[in-house]
Amino acid sequence: MSKPSPEAFEQGRGMDAHNEVMRDIRAEKSETYDPHEPTRVWVDEDNTPDGVKQSLTIILNTGGCRWARAGGCTMCGYVAESVEGGSVAHEALMDQIQVCLDHEAENADEPADLIKIYTSGSFLDEREVPAETRRAIAETFADRERIVVESLPDFVEADRVSDFTEVGLETDVAVGLETATDRVRRDCVNKYFEFADFEEACAEARSVGAGVKAYLLLKPPFLAEPEAATDMIDSIERCAGVEGCHTVSMNPCNVQRYTMVDELFFEGGYRPPWLWTVAHVLEATADVDAIVVSDPVGHGSERGAHNCGECDDRVQTAIKDFDLRQDPSVFDQVSCECEATWEYVMDAETSYNMPLVR
């Protein structure tokens, strides 16, 4: 099967300008990171096909996303937190896993049923996480119930995914699709693959008994608020219709350092989505044949999804409640005067006058 690759899109494919700008922005980074320490780790709860489970989320510190080093996505600054040099040794990655296990032992009453592992790019890319490390991680967590690993679709191959299913883990591949609309993914996100490649990745995962969790991006740059909401509703519905995709995670865009979104934000050309938009999309897609969740990063802050500041925490609580219960009536319990402003934005904002309200 012929698959797209980051290298094929670095030059001459209409993405050169985005990539050149992104490389210049990322060159401003000066921080360094310890290859023996994970980027982040925390204990939480997540909704799964088997119900709500306690989860251990791990963000491994790797050599960074291959596509991001070419230029990469307009909104993603995670590569800036990566180890310099392009690779991290197996032993160092396993040291990171041990740090995460120690964190879990200190902060959870019992081992989590669900393990979620992310990197700044693709866990299934063997340039980031070697096959030896992938198999060792599968063995480390073989006594848990379920694992989620993140990957771009071109690295989703049956033999890589089966390392987890063969040790008895219910396995999900989290794919950073961002949107089901190819034009938006290419022109607003600067991502190189198409929706058809996501469908192929679902089939590849399904062939070894794994499922897929689609990660979507609410309000990439260059979309007005109503355009972003419409695109997200359509994307959730299309993802839910793909066999094997049982969960859709809507991620409201936040403003990360060393990104094109950060540059636009600084110049007054970008506002993160309203939390009312998150609630609106969740209500509109509550009846699709998939679990739909959202966890707005940095909610209530200027750089994250926010409303007026007065109601942000209440709306965020309703969103979290919806994630666990999948009941849209939770949004009937929250209201604020700023909802009228949001409704005006949804009616009047266009790509020619955005952001209409900061």
Q: Which residues pair with 294 in a beta bridge?
A: 250
Give tens-digit pLDDT for 253-285. Answer: 999 988 999 999 999 999 999 999 999 999 999
Residue with the two structure tokens 């990322």: 26
Looking only at the bridges linking them, the beta strands covering 114-118 and 211-218 are unpaired
No. of helices (H) and no. of strands (E), the chain: 12, 8
* pLDDT category of residue 174 using cuts at 50, 70 and 90: very high
- pLDDT recorded at residue 70: 75
Write the CATH number for 116. 3.20.20.70
What average pLDDT does the structure give for the chain? 91
Q: What residue ranges in 105-156 does DSSP mark as E strands?
A: 114-118, 146-151
pLDDT (mean) for 88-92: 95
Q: How far is CA 116 from CA 67, 95, 262, 347, in A?
A: 22, 17, 27, 38
- pLDDT recorded at residue 148: 98
DSSP 209: T
Helix (H) or strand (E) holding 277: helix 275-284
Whether 356 has a pLDDT exceeding 90, the answer reads no
Give tens-digit pLDDT for 22-75. Answer: 666 655 655 666 899 999 999 999 999 999 999 999 999 998 888 877 778 999
With respect to residue 77, please indicate whether it lies within any of the assigned structural domains: yes
Rounded to whole angstroms, how far apart are CA atoms 289 and 227? 23
Whether 124 has a pLDDT exceeding 70, the answer reads yes
DSSP states along 282-338: HHHTTTSSSEEEE--TTTTSTTSS-SSSSSHHHHHHHHHHHHHH--GGGGGG---TH
- pLDDT recorded at residue 69: 74
- The total of structural domains in the chain comes to 1
Whether 7 has a pLDDT exceeding 60, the answer reads no
With respect to residue 354, please indicate whether it lies within any of the assigned structural domains: no
DSSP 169: -
pLDDT (mean) for 202-230: 97
Rounded to whole angstroms, how far apart are CA atoms 257 and 262? 6
With respect to residue 284, please indicate whether it lies within any of the assigned structural domains: yes
Instruction: Choose among 295, 255, 256, 261: nearest CA to 275.
Output: 295
* pLDDT category of residue 2 using cuts at 50, 70 and 90: very low
* pLDDT category of residue 136 using cuts at 50, 70 and 90: very high
- pLDDT recorded at residue 240: 98
With respect to residue 357, please indicate whether it lies within any of the assigned structural domains: no
DSSP 144: S
pLDDT (mean) for 296-301: 92
Please give the model's pTM, rounded to 2 decimal places: 0.89
- pLDDT recorded at residue 347: 97
Rounded to whole angstroms, how far apart are CA atoms 350 and 179? 19
With respect to residue 254, please indicate whether it lies within any of the assigned structural domains: yes
Domain containing 68: what range? 7-348
With respect to residue 155, please indicate whether it lies within any of the assigned structural domains: yes
Give tens-digit pLDDT for 309-328. Answer: 999 999 999 999 999 999 99
With respect to residue 277, please indicate whether it lies within any of the assigned structural domains: yes
With respect to residue 328, please indicate whether it lies within any of the assigned structural domains: yes
Tokens describing residue 50 = 């088997």
